[in-house]
Amino acid sequence: MNERKQHVLKMAHQLFIEKGFQSTSIQDILDYSGISKGTFYNYFSSKNELLIALFKTIYKKMEQERNELLIGQDPSNIEIFMKQIELQMQTNRANKLLSLFEEVFFSKDEDLKDFIKVGQLWMIKWVYRRFIDMFGENKKPYLLDCTIMFLGILNHNIKYNAMAFNSNVNIQQIVQYSVNRIVKTVNEVSLSGDQLISPELIDRWLPDTKNCIKIFHKKLHEAIMILKKNQKQMDEKSEELLEFIEDELLKSRNPRKFLIESALFSLQNNSIFQDNKELQKMDELIKEYIKERLKMET
Axis-axis angle for helices 171-192, 140-164 (nearest 10): 150
% pLDDT > 70, the chain: 93
pLDDT at residue number 129: 95
Q: Residue 44: which residues within 8 A CB-CB, separation 6 or more?
A: 50, 53
Topology classification of domain 1-52 = Arc Repressor Mutant, subunit A (1.10.10)
55 pLDDT more than 70: yes
Nearest to 126 by CA among 211, 205, 180: 205
Q: What confidence score (pLDDT) does residue 74 get?
A: 96
Of 102-106, 136-140, 155-159, 172-176, minimum mean pLDDT range:
102-106
Report the predicted TM-score, pTM, of the whole model to 2 decimal places.
Answer: 0.72
Statement: residue 166 has pLDDT above 60: yes
**170-218 pLDDT per residue, tens:** 999 999 999 999 999 999 999 999 999 999 888 888 766 666 677 788 8
Confidence of residue 275 (pLDDT cuts 50, 70, 90): confident
What is the per-residue pLDDT for 296? 53
In the chain, where the domains are located: 1-52, 75-205, 209-297
Model confidence at 228, pLDDT cuts 50, 70, 90, reads: confident
Q: Are 118 and 109 in contact (CB under 8 A)?
A: no
> What is residue 154's three-state secondary structure?
helix
Q: Average pLDDT for residues 42-51, to the nearest whole number?
A: 91
3 state SS of 72? coil
User: Is it the case that residue 295 has pLDDT exceeding 60?
Assistant: no
CB 100: neighbour CB atoms within 10 A?
21
pLDDT tens figures, 239-274: 888 889 988 888 777 777 778 888 888 888 888 887
pLDDT by residue (tens digit) across 77-111? 999 999 999 999 999 989 988 888 888 877 778 88
Least Cα distance to 9 among 23, 22, 35 occurs for 35
Q: What is the mean pLDDT of the chain?
A: 88
